[in-house]
């Protein structure tokens, strides 16, 4: 491996750096998406049961034990349920935007790596080919075919390595991008579902504020105050 890196020249080390950074971002995003993941249908079915039973405290406890974007949004929803419509919508919009930003974090850098790696590979190949033709010119055009072929395949190494890095990075980027879009849609659906459920079950709405646990009030006071 190190022999191939040395043959490919300094550009190979730039590509290697892109591969290490890309792998680190993919791993971090995978852990984050897994940690904050939630089965939307199961979550919705469970909170619907709590609301039908007017068990808002159970709703809050259930949501607080989760780490998902949906659970955080649902607690903020409950915490600000009795605010006027304009403030309520503004708070939910900002919290939703924060959750989406967290989901899309570092995806832009991942996209840059996916597009830059093959370009670096092509750049390294062009430099290698220029070196080959310089040698041919220096020898007056008299060069052994085997030597020429050896120079060409070494020059092509950077293109190969650039593509090897770019392909999985681009696939991962699209995977996370689709995942972020899906979760953004789920958060919108959740707000719509909660609006409908609380409008239908006024009794649950009336006791919602009293059911928020003290620690929740501290945790979401900053959001509510914005």
Question: What's the whole-number average pLDDT of the chain?
Answer: 83
Q: With a cut of 90, say whether residue 223 has pLDDT above it.
A: no
In whole angstroms, give the CA distance from residue 88 to residue 56: 18
pLDDT at 207: 54
CA 172 to chain CA centroid, nearest Å: 9
pLDDT at 215: 47
**Residues 20-58: pLDDT tens digits?**
999 999 999 999 999 999 999 999 999 888 888 888 888
- Helix, strand, coil percent values for the chain (each to nearest 5): 85, 0, 15
Q: Which residues have C-beta within 8 Å of that of residue 157, sequence separation ≥ 6?
A: 4, 7, 8, 12, 124, 125, 128
In whole angstroms, give the CA distance from residue 153 to residue 165: 19
**Residues 175-211: pLDDT tens digits?**
999 999 999 999 999 999 998 888 765 555 555 555 5
Q: Are 80 and 224 in contact (CB under 8 A)?
A: yes
In whole angstroms, give the CA distance from residue 155 to residue 129: 6
Mean pLDDT of 219-226: 43
In whole angstroms, give the CA distance from residue 183 to residue 189: 10
Q: Which one of 1-15, 55-69, 149-163, 171-185 scores highest in mean pLDDT?
A: 171-185
Q: Which is more confidently placed, 31 or 5?
A: 31
pLDDT at 155: 78
**Residues 56-106: pLDDT tens digits?**
888 888 888 888 999 999 989 988 887 888 888 899 999 999 999 999 999
CA 187 to chain CA centroid, nearest Å: 16
- Token pair of 220 as six digits: 């979401």
Mean pLDDT of 125-146: 73
pLDDT at 214: 46
pLDDT at 216: 45
Tokens 């808002």 sit at which residue? 56
């Amino acid at each position: 491996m190190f022999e191939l890196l040395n043959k490919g020249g300094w550009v190979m080390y730039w590509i290697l750096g892109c591969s290490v950074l890309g792998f680190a971002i993919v791993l971090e995003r995978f852990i984050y998406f897994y940690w904050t993941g939630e089965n939307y249908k199961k979550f919705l079915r469970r909170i619907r049961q709590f609301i039908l039973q007017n068990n808002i405290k159970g709703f809050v406890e259930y949501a607080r034990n989760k780490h998902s974007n949906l659970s955080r949004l649902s607690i903020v929803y409950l915490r600000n349920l009795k605010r006027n419509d304009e403030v309520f919508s503004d708070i939910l919009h900002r919290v939703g935007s924060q959750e989406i930003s967290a989901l899309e974090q570092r995806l832009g850098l991942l996209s840059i790596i996916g597009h830059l790696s093959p370009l670096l590979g092509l750049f390294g190949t062009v430099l290698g080919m220029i070196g080959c033709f310089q040698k041919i010119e220096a020898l007056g055009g008299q060069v052994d075919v085997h030597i020429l072929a050896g120079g060409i395949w070494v020059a092509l190494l950077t293109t190969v390595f650039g593509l090897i890095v770019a392909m999985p990075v681009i696939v991962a980027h699209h995977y996370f991008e689709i995942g972020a879009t899906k979760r953004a849609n789920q958060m919108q659906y959740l707000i719509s579902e909660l609006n409908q459920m609380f409008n239908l079950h006024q009794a649950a709405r009336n006791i919602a504020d009293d059911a928020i646990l003290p620690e929740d009030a501290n945790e979401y006071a900053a959001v509510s105050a914005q």
